[in-house]
Amino acid sequence: METKNSIIDRFVFYTPPSFVFVLFLSPAHAIDVIPGYAVAPPPDMNSFMASLVNIETGDRYIQGLKQGLDTKLNISNLLLRYTRSFSINGKPAGFYIQPSLGAVEPGGSLSGNDNSTGIGDTGFAFAYWPYANRETGDYFSLTGYLIAPTGKYDSNKLVNLGQNRYGAAFKITYHTKLTDSVEGMLSTDVQWFGNNDDYRLTHQCLEQKPLYSTQATLMYNINKQFMLAGSYFIHTGGETQLDGVDRDDRIKRDRYQLAVMGKFSFGKLILQFGSDLDTENGFIESQHAILRYQRLWQ
């Protein structure tokens, strides 16, 4: 049985895409679920979360073949999120807003391009739990997302923080308690993308088909203070067109992520680390590290 305090400790919902729009990098990232955060929160809770994200990308791949161009990108983001929970007809629900700041530093064969720093796109989400059984630890949630193009964008530059287009997504997540110390989580989502009518140097119209993602996570509660987790992700779809011409760049990407979480008197700390295992088109993600701090209040 989950106590109110254990449920409150996980309150935050999900992580929206950290969008960075660069060169031939597939212009979409996944909507990850932080391990354990599909548990329905009690109503009337507030949360503030600050996340430092660092992504390093390496070689560019086309149809699964490495291009050998010595391409490198170092991408940093600061995500600031406010979340509020409530109930709808007795069912748990909540929303959040997440603005961001970021920087992109090209390296290797891309080092001749200017860095990009400034405001990133802003994420909004609404979550609803039609089923939440606190006795058994089983939860089923539905979440909708909107990404607003508030980020810095200059079509005359190869590297940008904003996507210059709206995005939306819908996610379904199931969380269950397997043993006294082990929990599991499975989620799937689809992302839709608006058009970018001023796409980088050629000022063409970029269109993108839906992107589908699946995440499977196992969590181990070492004790009441610390948790370890491992996640595996699969992403497919998301082909793009320029002025109606197919670019033959379908996303097929597998990756992993490990996490350690600790609860302290000053708040909660979460460290996540991962990388791509395989990618078919775009820059391979050689490192993805996130440090999160969360504070809760009523």
**DSSP codes, 98-162:** E-EEEEEEEEETTTTSPPEEEE--EEEEEEEEEEEETTTTEEEEEEEEEEE--S---TTSSEES-
- Kindly state the DSSP code that residue 15 receives in the 8-state scheme: P
pLDDT of 26 strictly over 50: no
pLDDT of 19 strictly over 50: no
Domain ranges, residue 55:
4-297
* Domains: count for the chain: 1
Which pLDDT band, with edges at 50, 70 and 90, does 153 fall under?
A: very high
pLDDT digits (tens, 9 = 90+) for 258-292: 999 999 999 999 999 999 999 999 889 999 999 99
Q: What is the mean pLDDT of the chain?
A: 90
Q: With pLDDT > 70 as the criterion, what percentage of the chain qualifies?
A: 90
Q: With pLDDT > 90 as the criterion, what percentage of the chain qualifies?
A: 75
Residue 57 sits in a domain whose CATH number is: 2.40.128.130
Which pLDDT band, with edges at 50, 70 and 90, does 15 fall under?
A: low
- pLDDT, residue 109, reads 83
Which pLDDT band, with edges at 50, 70 and 90, does 30 fall under?
A: low
- pLDDT, residue 116, reads 87
3-state secondary structure of 152: coil
pLDDT digits (tens, 9 = 90+) for 169-195: 999 999 999 999 999 999 999 999 999
**pLDDT, mean of residues 150-164:** 90
Which pLDDT band, with edges at 50, 70 and 90, does 22 fall under?
A: very low
User: How far, in whole angstroms, is CA 128 from its chain's centroid?
Assistant: 19
Tokens coding 193: 């993308």
pLDDT digits (tens, 9 = 90+) for 248-260: 999 999 999 999 9
- Kindly state the DSSP code that residue 180 receives in the 8-state scheme: S
pLDDT digits (tens, 9 = 90+) for 53-86: 999 998 888 888 888 788 888 999 999 999 999 9
